[in-house]
Structure 1
Amino acid sequence: MGERKATVAAEVGLHARPAATFVQTAMKAPMDISVAKVTGGQRVNGKSILQIMALDVRQGETIVITAEGEGAEEVLDQLASIASTP
């Protein structure tokens, strides 16, 4: 199982536009993707905008993104980049 940690850099956290971009990218992947805060670690579906927004990830918080399967490393790199883009 692949895993990436990313510190959320967007001023609004992982909400609104950053969350939509994250989910759109995750939806293109054939595998399951999960996201959790490093602190308080409830895992949610990375392809669900409602679940991502319900995590209430704020600027400066770190998330863990996991995926398993062919192409997971590339997808994880893309998602970590989205999360860490201001």
Structure 2
Amino acid sequence: MEKTFKISALDGLHARPCTLLVSAATPFKSEATLRYKDRSANLKSIMSVMSQAVPTGAVITISAVGEDEVALMERVVDIFISQGLGEEC
């Protein structure tokens, strides 16, 4: 399962938004990945996500694979919307 988002947070995905996303994904058993351009990051690793240096206006894809992928994706979508990080494309 995957969803695409356009980043609207003024500073892109810096430390605080990355921490929110990683904290949201970590409790789930499914694997979660953030893809930006030609690179991918483990959504459960703060250093991996921050190393992507995703700017405002960027389009990213979040994918989840596993037994609780639907719940994981619902949580990630909730974080994007409730925290003003971006909107689903």
Give the TM-score normalised by the residue count of structure 1. Answer: 0.85
One-letter code of the match for 1:12?
D
- The percent of aligned pairs where both chains have the same amino acid is 28
Hey, which bits of structure 1, 4+ residues long, moved more than 6 A?
none
Kindly indicate whether the alpha-carbon contact (under 8 Å) linking 2:30 and 2:72 is maintained by their aligned counterparts in 1. no
Count of residues paired in the alignment: 83
Verify: 1:4 aligned to 2:42, yes or no. Answer: no
One-letter code of the match for 1:68?
V
More strand by share: 2
Q: State the superposition RMSD in angstroms.
A: 1.5
Kindly indicate whether the alpha-carbon contact (under 8 Å) linking 2:32 and 2:63 is maintained by their aligned counterparts in 1. yes
Give the TM-score normalised by the residue count of structure 2. Answer: 0.82
Gaps (5+ residues) in structure 2? none
Once the two structures are superposed, residues 2-58 of structure 1 have per-residue CA deviations (whole angstroms, 9 ceiling, x without a partner) of 001011111111111111000000101111111111xx2211111111111110101
Gaps (5+ residues) in structure 1? none
